[in-house]
Amino acid sequence: MSNVFWAIASGIAVGTLARYLMMRRDVRQYPSYPHAVVNHLSLGFLAATLGAVAIPALAAEEYTAVTFLALAATQFREVRSMERQMLVALETSKLVPRGKDFIEGIARTFEARNYLVLFIALLTSGVTFWQGSLLGIIAGISAVAIVRKLIGGKAIKDIAKVRAGEFRFEKFNLFVEDIHIMNVGLERTRKIYEERAKAVVLEPFNDNAREILANVGQRQAIAHDAASLLGIYRDVDTAEFTPLLRRNIDTGRIGMIILPMEPDTECLLQAVRHVPVLESAVAKPLASRAGRCAAD
């Protein structure tokens, strides 16, 4: 068989494999539905095919074939909006919603991973075409390994100290240490808080982290992840037990209160520490002169 065939075949194979490996069916249980996995694997296969044919087409002086890459961009934007629409539609059935920022982050990730698949397939087929299958597959697998490392992103544990906190009521006002959380009107509700609630304090390491934790979407993502991993003591008609994260506006520290089904503080801290830092929440005041000057 010709080296064009092997270039395209190896590009498609390595690209599709890369999409499978990038699909993290992790603790957040997404995408764990079998049909969502099939959807994304199929789209990954298409992305890999588009990437794999580009270089053999160019070599054959079929320059119009490259316009297919533009088609890919449209296709992947569609993936993003499909994911966003689905997650927004499901939001109302969550006891603790993900929040718009988290959804946008997930949708953007799905789009970006298809581009990565396209580039991996392009690289694999290009190297196979000019250097042979063995080197092509080695290049492809190395690219997959590098990409898997790069897409990791930061977690809350990288930007803040996460520790257990104390909570108390001052009359009807609930505080986590010095952070006011909310006004809890009913005595019976306060009693349930005293029996079941857990408090967590997040202390940002620097001004960048302080601004990330100030983002309301980031805080909602923390509440969602903690509630989905440890379970939440609430139902649709008990809104007063919604987990809340509030900010000390003097220091930027965050106080969190939650009523988990599993009352294990260490597991709760683990859950909070591993929440991803959302791309939309990232702020870097320390990268600017004004930010550094204000930080001291």
Return residues touching other proteins (CB under 8 A): 171-172, 182-189, 236-240, 242
| Nearer of residues 88 and 184 to other proteins, judged by Cβ | 184
**H/E run at residue 161:** strand 160-165
Distance CA 224, CA 109 (A): 18
CB of residue 43 to other proteins, shortest distance in Å: 38
**What are the two backbone dihedrals, phi and then psi, of residue 182, each rounded to the nearest 5 degrees?**
-170, 170
Instruction: Return the exposure string of 5-34: e unless at least 16 CB atoms fall within 10 Å of the residue's CB, then b.
Output: ebbbbbbbbbbbbbbeebbeeeebebbeee
CB of residue 256 to other proteins, shortest distance in Å: 16
CB of residue 186 to other proteins, shortest distance in Å: 5
CB of residue 127 to other proteins, shortest distance in Å: 56
| Nearer of residues 237 and 296 to other proteins, judged by Cβ | 237
Q: What is the number of alpha carbons within 13 Å of residue 178 lying toward its C-beta? A: 7
| Nearer of residues 133 and 238 to other proteins, judged by Cβ | 238
CB of residue 221 to other proteins, shortest distance in Å: 18
| Nearer of residues 95 and 112 to other proteins, judged by Cβ | 95
Using DSSP's 3-state secondary structure scheme, residue 205 falls into: coil
Q: What is the number of alpha carbons within 13 Å of residue 76 lying toward its C-beta? A: 23
- On whether the CB atoms of residues 20 and 41 are closer than 8 A, the answer is yes
217 torsion bin: left (phi>0), alpha (psi -120 to 50), beta (else): alpha
CB of residue 236 to other proteins, shortest distance in Å: 6
Q: Give the DSSP per-residue string, 120-133.
A: HHHHHHHHHHHH-H
| Nearer of residues 240 and 279 to other proteins, judged by Cβ | 240
CB of residue 183 to other proteins, shortest distance in Å: 4
| Nearer of residues 149 and 171 to other proteins, judged by Cβ | 171
| Nearer of residues 89 and 236 to other proteins, judged by Cβ | 236
- On whether the CB atoms of residues 207 and 291 are closer than 8 A, the answer is yes
**What are the two backbone dihedrals, phi and then psi, of residue 238, each rounded to the nearest 5 degrees?**
-125, 70
